[in-house]
Structure 1
Amino acid sequence: MHSDRTQVAIIGAGPAGLLLQQLLRLGGVESVVLERQTRAHVEARIRAGVLEPGTVALLEKAGVAGRLHREGLVHEGVELAVDGRRFRIDLRELTGDCVTVYGQTEITHDLFAAADAHLSPIVYEAEHVLLHDLDGERPYVTWEKHGVDHRIDCDHVAGCDGQHGASRAALPTGVTHLFERHGSAAWLGVLADVPPCAPELIYAESPRGFALASMRSSTRSRYYLQVDAHDALEDWPEARFWEELARRLGPDAAAHLTPDYALERSIVPLRSHVIEPMQWGRLFLAGDAAHVVPPTGAKGLNLAAADVGLLADALIAWHKGGGASLLATYSGRALARAWKAVRFSWWFTGLTHRAAGADPFDLQLQRAELDQLRTSRAAQTLFAENYVGRFA
């Protein structure tokens, strides 16, 4: 067996794991990242792309925001549509902040470039990853690659490998509690190399269901439709998707749609789960390993970045002799933000989606709340604060 040692073993080479490694490096802490997939697979993942100002600031701190500032789209507002009639919420006026549209795929490319530049150790195609002695002072991780067994000893393990990864599997029964909720709908997403139909995102509520007009750049668009959770991609040929999208967005937005071949199509269920606590022994969870939220409002990547910012500071403090207080309180501080983001995501989902089995009373309440959001500055301010990630 090949063996080695590092200070922090990071499980998962998604944005959370890569960003954590970069921040630890800048803080003088050694780490090794273990990833089950190939690098090409990781770089090809299509995910969210709306960044809160706090996430942008953290990427700046990590020294990987140069291309983001050159190519990212700054959005000072967001639009909502009710039966095709749109109104705008001015994020800048209401909060002094804005969001930046920059795809998660691009962030991953930037983080890999930084890792390459600094020769940061990343192990790809690490199979059968197992975490050991997490409740002791000498944890270690084992894995297999190309038929050869490997082991790395460490002081701490950061689980950034999602809900189905080795980190969650390493938690003994009874040491954490899982809170979860599953919706009856899903999002069908299409990525296409066409100009966006509007300069800012449009979240559309209609009798036919929810739709979202988003983008990744000025020439690449990302569109979503609410579909049944049991629908499959073959139920939605591309012609049907574009026709339904036009109906739900309304005539003004539909007039600027450019239907074209989809670069990528996927269906994502509306679901959520939260693990409490987010730490056990020397293992600390971050991102999707600890919590998943509905995509409405684009909180997933931003929550992962917030976790990583807290965890990096705590690990650097411990390894530099600053004590264990930040590590001991990591879970509580991360969960305080996570639950507020979960609440906002589910509220926004309920506001804009047609729930299965909703009766006329439910629909009237939904319309009343949408109308209040359209007409009330106070309601818009609260929405804007949540949307830009200002969780008091």
Structure 2
Amino acid sequence: MSNSNPLAELSAAGVSIWLDDLSRERLSTGNLASLIAEKNVVGVTTNPTIFAAALSDGAAYDEQVRELAARGADVHATVREVTTTDVRHACDLFRDTYDATDGVDGRVSIEVDPRLAKDSERTAAEALDLWKTVDRPNLMVKIPATIEGLPAITRTLAEGVSVNVTLIFSVERYRKVMEAFLTGLEQAKANGHDLRTIHSVASFFVSRVDSEIDKRLDAIDSPKAKELRGKAAIANAVLAHAAYQETFTGERWEALAADGARAQRPLWASTGVKDPNYSDTRYVDQLVVPNVVNTMPEKTLHAVADHGRIEGDTVTGRADQAQQVFDELVEVGIDLDDVFVTLETEGVDKFEKSWAELLDTVTGQLDQAKG
């Protein structure tokens, strides 16, 4: 019997393991605490879909919803109170990790209202309000990497708030995200903030890229198209990491680093495998590189623990191979620009739909609590 511990090996390779899920039940039953103690989990991310699923179960939130109903809280105030309560408790649970890693890990993310994704000013205002409401130093506020989100990212960082940039699909957009980050730190410095306290990750989505491109390759149905199935997402992430390495060098970055700034780490998101023909650990095993985050659903976390194969750095130095994959995708007729526009649109729409479901669920719970 093997004595290997793939999650420990992944951590030792420099990958921070964050759980892509949070609920009152995870907190109250000790499930999250167990994952921290036994599965090398050092952070957690949330999004509107995660909260919609958590609140739909309902029972764990009944008491708090009844109290809020008695106080006359409306649905929006109730959603804010319920979600920030979970996030605040998770921040407290991760506080030891946060302290032990000098703020690098022990992070908990909460997302701005997805309906604001096309409104820069309101996104920034919401981000600052969430930061003040949760009131924990290990919070990260999630802001989508839409064109309108970019100035909100800069403004939020400029106020000294740590940011998780979400819904990044293309390397082109990722470069704009890193530019927004650098500008935000420069403004934060000018505003007198301690750059050592400002952290950021850039959530680069993985599996959804394969899902969309594989669908288009299947429609082309040529031998070459079939050969390219399942290659796009990993190649995209490898190219993103090359862009990261390129950005965080040179005079501009070194000037910020000299004042204590921390580089914005790449975060591999959407790492649950959606195609049953693929290994259920491929978006972990094949994306090992120091100083990144991999945020996994619990199913993927357990799969990696059971049979993951961590074989050192699988990313650095592979940009040329990755670019060749993209060149071949274009040659067979894949419109990559359209792919990334489609994925961003669908990502924003999915979170808006989840937010609407969350509001509907909580409205029903408030009505029930009021009798």
TM-score when scaled to structure 2? 0.26
Higher-strand-fraction structure? 1
The structure with the largest alpha-carbon Rg is 1
Higher-helix-fraction structure? 2
TM-score when scaled to structure 1? 0.25
